[in-house]
C-alpha cells in the first residue's frame, strides 16, 4: 500500500505539470508540511523531498509563479533541520541551488534577481550574526559597512574618480575582484575606527552609538559632493562597471546552456553570490569553533565572568566588529556592480534594521537561521507584498491607494518581530545554546 505522504507528493508533481500555478503550489506546501512534521522513515521522507523538488521546479519553470521559489526555500530548510542522510542533503541542496533556481530564472528573470538579493542579504546577515548572535553586541548601523564597500568600487569603477584623481577612469571591470579584497580591508578599518569608541559601551548605549555612527556614514555619502565631489551626493554614482564575462559565456556554452543579454549577468551574479555565501559560511563555522568564537560567546553570556577568565574585552569585541564589517563590505562591491548604481538611499537606518530583523527571525547565533531569515524577509518585501498589492489594485479597484499593502512593509515587519518575541524568541532555527537557555528560562 502506497503511503499517504507519497501519494500527496505524486499528486503535487502531476498537478505541477498539468495545472502549474497557485493551486498546485498550495498543494505542494501541504505536502511539504506533511513530510516535515509527520513521523516518517528517513527513506520515505527523502523520496518525498525529491518529488517535491521536482514539482516546485516544474511549476516555477512552466508558470513563472514565485510561490515555487518559496517551496524550494522550504525544502532547503527541511534539509537543514530534519534528520536525513548527509549525501541526500548535499545532493538535493546542490540540485535546488544550481539547477532548479537557474531553470526557473531562465523562464522568469525576476527569480534570478530575487535569488541575488536573498544571497546578498544572507551574507550580510551572517556577518551581523557574528556581531549580534555570537558576541552579543547590538549594532544598529550595520548598513554603514555595506555603503563603504559599495562606494569603494563605485567611485573607482566609474568616472567619479576623475573629479579628484588623475588617471584612466573608470577602471576596467576586472578590477572588481581586486576591489572585493580592498573592500574587506577598508570596511575592517572602518569597523575598527567606529568600534574603538563605541565598544567601550554596552547594551542600549552601544545600540544608540552604532545607530548614530551608521547615520554619519550615510550623511557623509549624501553630502560629499562638495567642495570635492567624492560620492556625487544624493544623485548617486552610475554607471558602475561590471566585470567582463566572456569566459563565463563560453563555459556555459560548453555546458550546453545558452545565455542571452538578459540572463548572462543575472546567472553570473547569482553564482558569484552563492560562492560568496559558501565562503562566508565556511569562515563562520571555523570562527564559531575557534577560541575567538568561544571568547565571543563568553562575552555574550557574561562580560564580567569572561574578563575574570582573562579574555581581553575590547580587542575581542573589535575582532567581531571588524569581521562582520568585512562580510558586509565585500557584498557591497557585488551589490554596486550588479546594480551598476549606488546612492545613499540604499543604506538607510531601515536597511540596518532589516538585516538585524533577519538575524532575530532566523535565530541569533544560528548560521542556517540567518540565511532563512534573509530569505523569508527578502521574499516578503520584494515579492509577496508587491504581488498582493498588484492583486488588490487590479481585482479591488474600489479600495483606495492608501491601503496598498506594499506601503505597510514596516508595519508587517514590526508585527512579525512582536509575534516572534512572544511565541518563539529563540528564532525559527535556534542555535543549540540559545535553545537550551530558552528552555531553562
The mean pLDDT value for 162-173 works out to 88
Predicted confidence at residue 1, as pLDDT, reads 57
Matching residue, cell 545613499: 344
Count of C-beta atoms within a 10 Å radius of residue 106 = 18
Last residue of a domain, one of 57, 77, 107: 107
From CA 47, how far away is CA 440, in angstroms rounded?
37
Residues 119 and 194 in one domain: yes
Q: Give me 159's grid cell.
A: 568616472
Residues 5 and 117 in one domain: no
Could you tell me if residue 403 is inside a domain? Answer: no
From CA 272, how far away is CA 141, in angstroms rounded?
26
Could you tell me if residue 269 is inside a domain? Answer: yes
Instruction: Name the domain count of the chain.
Output: 2
Predicted confidence at residue 337, as pLDDT, reads 95
Instruction: Work out the burial of residue 157: count CB atoms within 10 Å of its CB; fewer than 13 is exposed, 13-18 middle, 19 or more buried.
Output: buried
What are phi and psi for residue 429, nearest 5 degrees?
-125, 80
From CA 417, how far away is CA 225, in angstroms rounded?
38
Could you tell me if residue 405 is inside a domain? Answer: no
Residues 22 and 160 in one domain: no
From CA 277, how far away is CA 96, in angstroms rounded?
15
For 126, 151, 154, the CA distances from 341, given in Å and listed in that order, are 24, 10, 8
* pLDDT greater at residue 408 or residue 215: 215
Predicted confidence at residue 320, as pLDDT, reads 92
Q: Residue 308 sits in which domain range?
A: 111-358
Q: Give me 314's grid cell.
A: 575590547
Mean pLDDT of the chain: 89
H-type alpha helices, 224-301: 246-254, 264-288, 291-301
pLDDT tens sequence across 353-364: 999 999 999 988
Last residue of a domain, one of 107, 140, 158: 107
Predicted confidence at residue 251, as pLDDT, reads 92
pLDDT of 160 over the 80 cut: yes
For 306, 383, 386, 404, 432, the CA distances from 393, given in Å and listed in that order, are 56, 15, 11, 8, 45
Least confident of 287-301, 343-357, 382-396: 382-396
Predicted confidence at residue 7, as pLDDT, reads 87
Last residue of a domain, one of 307, 340, 358: 358
Predicted confidence at residue 187, as pLDDT, reads 95
Of 378, 384, 387, nearest in space to 355 by CA? 378
Amino acid at each position: 500500500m502506497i503511503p499517504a505522504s507519497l501519494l500527496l507528493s505524486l499528486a503535487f508533481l502531476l498537478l505541477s505539470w498539468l495545472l502549474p500555478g497557485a493551486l498546485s503550489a498550495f498543494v505542494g506546501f501541504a505536502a511539504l508540511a506533511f513530510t516535515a512534521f509527520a513521523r516518517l522513515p528517513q527513506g520515505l521522507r527523502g523520496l518525498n523531498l525529491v518529488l517535491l523538488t521536482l514539482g516546485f521546479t516544474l511549476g516555477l519553470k512552466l508558470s513563472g509563479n514565485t510561490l515555487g521559489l518559496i517551496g524550494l526555500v522550504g525544502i532547503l530548510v527541511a534539509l537543514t533541520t530534519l534528520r536525513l542522510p548527509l549525501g541526500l542533503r548535499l545532493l538535493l541542496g546542490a540540485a535546488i541551488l544550481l539547477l532548479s533556481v537557474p531553470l526557473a530564472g531562465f523562464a522568469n528573470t525576476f527569480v534570478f534577481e530575487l535569488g541575488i538579493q536573498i544571497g546578498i542579504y544572507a551574507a550580510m546577515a551572517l556577518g551581523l550574526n557574528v556581531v549580534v548572535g555570537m558576541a552579543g553586541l547590538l549594532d544598529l548601523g550595520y548598513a554603514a559597512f555595506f555603503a563603504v564597500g559599495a562606494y569603494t568600487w563605485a567611485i573607482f569603477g566609474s568616472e567619479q574618480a576623475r573629479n579628484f584623481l588623475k588617471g584612466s577612469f573608470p577602471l576596467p571591470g576586472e578590477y572588481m575582484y581586486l576591489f572585493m579584497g580592498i573592500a574587506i580591508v577598508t570596511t575592517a578599518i572602518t569597523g575598527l575606527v567606529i568600534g574603538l569608541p563605541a565598544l567601550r559601551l554596552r547594551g542600549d548605549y552601544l545600540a544608540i552609538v552604532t545607530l548614530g555612527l551608521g547615520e554619519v556614514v550615510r550623511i557623509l555619502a549624501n553630502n560629499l559632493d562638495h567642495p570635492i565631489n567624492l560620492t556625487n551626493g544624493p544623485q548617486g554614482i552610475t554607471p558602475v562597471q561590471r566585470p567582463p564575462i566572456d569566459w563565463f559565456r563560453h563555459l556555459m556554452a560548453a555546458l550546453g546552456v545558452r545565455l542571452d543579454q538578459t540572463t548572462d549577468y543575472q546567472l553570473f551574479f547569482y553564482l558569484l553570490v552563492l560562492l560568496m555565501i559558501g565562503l562566508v559560511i565556511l569562515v563562520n563555522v571555523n570562527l564559531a569553533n575557534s577560541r575567538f568564537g568561544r571568547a565571543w560567546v563568553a562575552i555574550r553570556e557574561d562580560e564580567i565572568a569572561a574578563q575574570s577568565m582573562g579574555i581581553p574585552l575590547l580587542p575581542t569585541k573589535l575582532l567581531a566588529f571588524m569581521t562582520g564589517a568585512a562580510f558586509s563590505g565585500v557584498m557591497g562591491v557585488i551589490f554596486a556592480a550588479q546594480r551598476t548604481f549606488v546612492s545613499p538611499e540604499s543604506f538607510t537606518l531601515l536597511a540596518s534594521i532589516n538585516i538585524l530583523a533577519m538575524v532575530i527571525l532566523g535565530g541569533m547565533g544560528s548560521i542556517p537561521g540567518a540565511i532563512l531569515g534573509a530569505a523569508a524577509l527578502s521574499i516578503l518585501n520584494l515579492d509577496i507584498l508587491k504581488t498582493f498589492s498588484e492583486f488588490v489594485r487590479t481585482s479591488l479597484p474600489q479600495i483606495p491607494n492608501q491601503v496598498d499593502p506594499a506601503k505597510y512593509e514596516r508595519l508587517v515587519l514590526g508585527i512579525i518581530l512582536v509575534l516572534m518575541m512572544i511565541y518563539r524568541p529563540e528564532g525559527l532555527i535556534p542555535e543549540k545554546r540559545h535553545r537550551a537557555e530558552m528552555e531553562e528560562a
